[in-house]
């Protein structure tokens, strides 16, 4: 049994921010991360830039310097990695927490496993769940979704040159992907259930995208949904009926959601509206000593909490634990 003063699950920006704040009140936490530091950001499109300015992504009062108005994915990865290293944040990478159990004595027992299947047991009075959501895509639940040609992530356009590519979704990520794909010579069809363009599309991007659609360089299908995928085609339904379109690859950019089941199994009550029970002033759940940080605390949509707001959850958690001690 390994005894720790506090354990944080997840080494994304919000988990790292919580670790730094706990250090400042005299605790020496360890982060258990099933992949690598800032894993979610490393999975973003290769050439992506954030909407936020650099100061809104800062953690631990560490300056985020960049010559650009909006930092890139690579700059963010470098920043969060450097923040962790310079603050000597302890991170057990490539280790997954399987279960959290609160014991009669008030301490938590955690069971984890490393990438070789070796299990560990921990004991701690405080647990912060900062697991994010990027590993839990919103599946369509249709035949063919499990084919190798289907992915819920878009990294870069080059592999799709000359291919028939369908993008499911109409958010910023779908529009950005469509534009990148068209630039490298992919034949792009965007399939969106809405009746018109999403209001969330960046205003400086939408006019260029609409011109591509009007000129026939990108095909846009509104009020449409994919109902079946096979090796060479898609079946799409819309008000005009069902149609089959040629297809080589599918980018199902339908969003992500937090892992509510993990929280439920840890004793966290899920409210009727579907979000976890927690105190917004302290981030403590209905389980004493178990806290939430980042997007896992979202109440309705996974994108309602961003780094720029979730990074302050660690301050609330640290303040509450300090008051108890």
Look at residue 302 and tell me whether its pLDDT is greater than 60. no
Q: Look up the CATH number of the domain holding residue 267.
A: 3.50.50.60
Same-domain status, 122 and 179: no
CA dihedral 283, 103, 325, 278 (to 10 degrees): 10
pLDDT of 304 reads 45
Residue 178 is assigned to a structural domain of this protein: yes
Instruction: Label residue 288 by pLDDT band (50, 70, 90).
Output: very high
Among residues 190, 225, 252, which one ends one of the domains?
Answer: 252
Mean pLDDT of the chain: 91
Burial tier of 308 (Cβ tally within 10 Å: 0-12, 13-18, 19+) = middle
Same-domain status, 29 and 49: yes
Among residues 191, 224, 252, which one ends one of the domains?
Answer: 252
Euclidean distance between CA atoms 92 and 114, whole angstroms: 9
Residue 114 is assigned to a structural domain of this protein: yes
Domain hosting residue 173, numbered range: 150-252
Residue 144 is assigned to a structural domain of this protein: no
pLDDT digits (tens, 9 = 90+) for 138-175: 889 999 999 999 999 999 999 999 999 999 999 888 99
Beta bridge partners of 242: 237
Q: Which of 47-61, 151-165, 228-242 has the lowest mean pLDDT?
A: 47-61
Same-domain status, 288 and 244: no
Among residues 224, 252, 280, which one ends one of the domains?
Answer: 252
User: Residue 213 is inside which H or E element, if any?
Assistant: helix 206-214
Same-domain status, 109 and 206: no
pLDDT of 202 reads 86
């Amino acid at each position: 049994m390994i005894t720790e003063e506090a354990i944080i699950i997840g080494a994304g920006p919000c988990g790292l921010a919580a670790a730094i704040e706990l250090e400042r009140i005299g605790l020496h936490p360890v982060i258990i991360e099933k992949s690598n530091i800032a894993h979610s950001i490393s999975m973003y499109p290769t050439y992506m830039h954030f909407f936020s300015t650099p100061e809104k992504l800062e953690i631990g009062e560490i300056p985020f310097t960049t010559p650009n108005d909006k930092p890139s994915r690579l700059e963010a990865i470098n920043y969060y990695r450097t923040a962790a290293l310079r603050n000597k944040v302890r991170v057990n990478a490539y280790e997954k927490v399987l279960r959290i159990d609160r014991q009669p004595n008030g301490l938590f027992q955690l069971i984890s496993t490393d990438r070789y299947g070796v299990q560990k047991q921990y004991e701690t009075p405080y647990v912060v769940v900062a697991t994010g959501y990027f590993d839990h895509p919103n599946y369509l639940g249709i035949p063919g979704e499990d084919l190798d040609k289907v992915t819920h992530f878009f990294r870069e356009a080059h592999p799709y040159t000359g291919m028939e590519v369908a993008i499911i979704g109409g958010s910023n990520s779908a529009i950005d992907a469509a534009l990148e794909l068209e630039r490298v010579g992919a034949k792009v069809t965007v399939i969106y259930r809405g009746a018109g363009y999403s209001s969330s599309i960046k205003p400086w991007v939408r006019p260029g995208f609409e011109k591509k659609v009007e000129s026939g360089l990108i095909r846009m299908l509104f009020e449409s949904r994919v109902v079946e995928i096979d090796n060479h085609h898609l079946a799409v339904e819309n008000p005009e009926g069902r149609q089959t379109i040629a297809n080589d690859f599918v980018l199902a950019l339908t969003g992500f959601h937090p892992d509510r089941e993990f929280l439920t199994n840890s004793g966290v009550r899920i409210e009727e509206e579907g979000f976890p029970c927690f105190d917004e002033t302290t981030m403590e759940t209905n389980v004493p000593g178990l806290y939430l940080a980042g997007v896992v605390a979202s109440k309705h949509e996974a994108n309602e909490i961003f780094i720029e707001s979730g990074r302050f959850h660690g301050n609330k958690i640290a303040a509450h634990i300090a008051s108890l001690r």
